[in-house]
């Protein structure tokens, strides 16, 4: 399968010159769904080599082959999955750590990894919100890693690419957040919509977004042939959307829904245009905005659906405007595990190491 290239690797980030050859990667939280997706993508990345797999264990075992957790990876990785330990993540073996762990684990581990000279892409929410006061309210814990938080770069690749390239710590965005932020950034930056008139994102997600932890709400029979709204006026991804889009809480309503599918997010976003616009004008605005973004596809007509982006790193965005040119619906679609998690994490890694942005993703 994947050729293991045993050649030149990285040392301390920032010290290398010229594009990297091979980055040595550790995945912590390898047994979850984001972990699986990271491993699938990394297994076909010609410039990444997975040297460590870590998790909090499985079936009472501390060390086990990753295929016990993810049978689809049979035969792909020989390195065993072991308990998460900062000590076992030495710069002599690892350049970059993907944290696909619970928030508080990431909060604890990331600063120590930075200190050891490693770079980190954190898929948890531990470093997404700049305002430390937001953590107790939205996540229920105090944030005590101020220095790491300060240097963390919020990782919507298309908006923060330049900072991501140099970052030591990337706070990979939430799946819903990516879907909403990419859909709204152009019209908000250009002030084409009046945010005070209220922006509503009615979003729908597949169940993998809720992770692999057991709960009755995710039991097959409870999800199948069903659809339900949850987290009304109260979802944890709201503060990172507000922060990234510079919106006031009262002007933005976000309602996530659980779909009986495995992967994909569809966000149907309702805005009021501050002056009438044609469909063509909006398409042009977005196409210009994303002219250099290989993973955002702006539809010339119609709106996207989940199937068009499932199993890909694309975000597709389309529009519909009413006859008066004042009400606009923006629909965005992405795969929550790829562009909404592991794919964007690798896209960010690609920037961090000077690889082609699309490596392993196209």
Task: Looking at residues 47 to 86 of the shown chain, list those that interact with a copy of itself (rule: CB under 8 A).
Answer: 71-72, 74-75
Site string for a copy of itself, 133-172 (x = CB under 8 A): ----------------------------------------
Residues in the interface with a copy of itself (CB under 8 A) total 75
Query: By three-state DSSP, how is residue 46 classified?
Result: coil
165 or 299: CB nearest a copy of itself:
299
Residue choice 21, 255, 281, 283 for contact with a copy of itself (CB under 8 A): 255
Catalytic residue among 50, 175, 180, 331, which? 175
* Dist CA 356 CA 350 (whole Å): 6
227 catalytic per annotation = no
Among 266, 317, 342, 352, binds a copy of itself (CB under 8 A): 266
Strand order in the sheet with 169-171: 81-83, 48-55, 23-28, 96-99, 119-122, 169-171, 153-154
The DSSP 8-state label assigned to residue 354 in this structure reads T
| Residue 331 found at the interface with a copy of itself (CB under 8 A) | yes
* Given 171, 259, 282, 338, the residue binding a copy of itself (CB under 8 A): 259
Shortest CB 209 distance to a copy of itself, Å:
10
Burial of 294 from C-beta contacts in 10 A (0-12 / 13-18 / 19+): middle
Cα(248)–Cα(124) distance, rounded to whole angstroms? 24
Binding residue (CB under 8 A) for a copy of itself from 8, 18, 146, 233: 233
Nearer to a copy of itself, 111 or 209 (CB): 209
Q: Give dist(CA 179, CA 316) in Å, integer.
A: 9
**Calpha distance 243→255 (Å, rounded):** 17
Contact of 317 with 183, CB cutoff 8 Å: yes
Residues identified as active-site: 175
């Amino acid at each position: 399968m994947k050729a293991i290239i045993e050649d030149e690797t990285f040392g301390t980030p920032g010290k290398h010159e010229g594009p990297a050859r091979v980055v040595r990667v550790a995945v912590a939280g390898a047994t979850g769904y984001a972990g699986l997706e990271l491993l699938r993508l990394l297994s076909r990345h010609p410039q990444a080599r997975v040297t460590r797999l870590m998790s909090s264990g499985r079936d009472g075992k501390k060390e086990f082959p990753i295929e016990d957790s993810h049978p689809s990876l049979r035969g792909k990785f020989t390195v065993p999955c072991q308990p998460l330990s900062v000590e076992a993540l030495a710069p002599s073996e690892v350049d970059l750590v993907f944290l696909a762990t619970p928030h508080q684990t990431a909060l604890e581990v990331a600063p120590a990894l930075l200190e050891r000279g490693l770079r980190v892409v954190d898929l948890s929410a531990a470093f997404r919100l700049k305002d430390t006061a937001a953590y107790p309210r939205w996540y229920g814990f105090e944030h005590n890693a101020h220095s790491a938080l300060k240097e963390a770069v919020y990782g919507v690749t298309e908006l923060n690419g330049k900072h991501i390239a140099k970052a030591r710590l990337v706070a990979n965005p939430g799946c819903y957040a990516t879907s909403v932020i990419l859909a709204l950034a152009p019209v908000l930056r250009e002030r084409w919509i009046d945010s005070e008139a209220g922006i509503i994102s009615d979003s729908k997600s597949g169940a993998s977004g809720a992770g692999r932890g057991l709960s009755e709400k995710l039991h097959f029979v409870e999800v199948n042939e069903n659809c339900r709204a949850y987290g009304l006026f109260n979802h944890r991804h709201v503060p990172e959307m507000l922060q990234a889009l510079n919106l006031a809480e009262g002007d933005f309503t976000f309602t996530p829904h659980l779909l009986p599918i495995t992967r994909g997010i569809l966000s149907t976003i309702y805005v009021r245009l501050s002056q009438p616009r044609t469909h063509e004008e909006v398409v042009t605005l977005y196409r210009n905005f994303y002219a250099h973004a290989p993973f955002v596809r702006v539809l010339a007509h119609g709106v996207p659906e989940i199937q068009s982006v499932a199993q890909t790193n694309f975000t597709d965005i389309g529009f519909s405007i009413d006859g008066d040119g004042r009400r606009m619906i923006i629909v965005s679609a992405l795969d929550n595990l790829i562009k909404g998690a592991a794919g964007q994490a690798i896209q960010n890694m690609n920037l961090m190491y000077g690889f082609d942005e699309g490596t392993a993703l196209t």
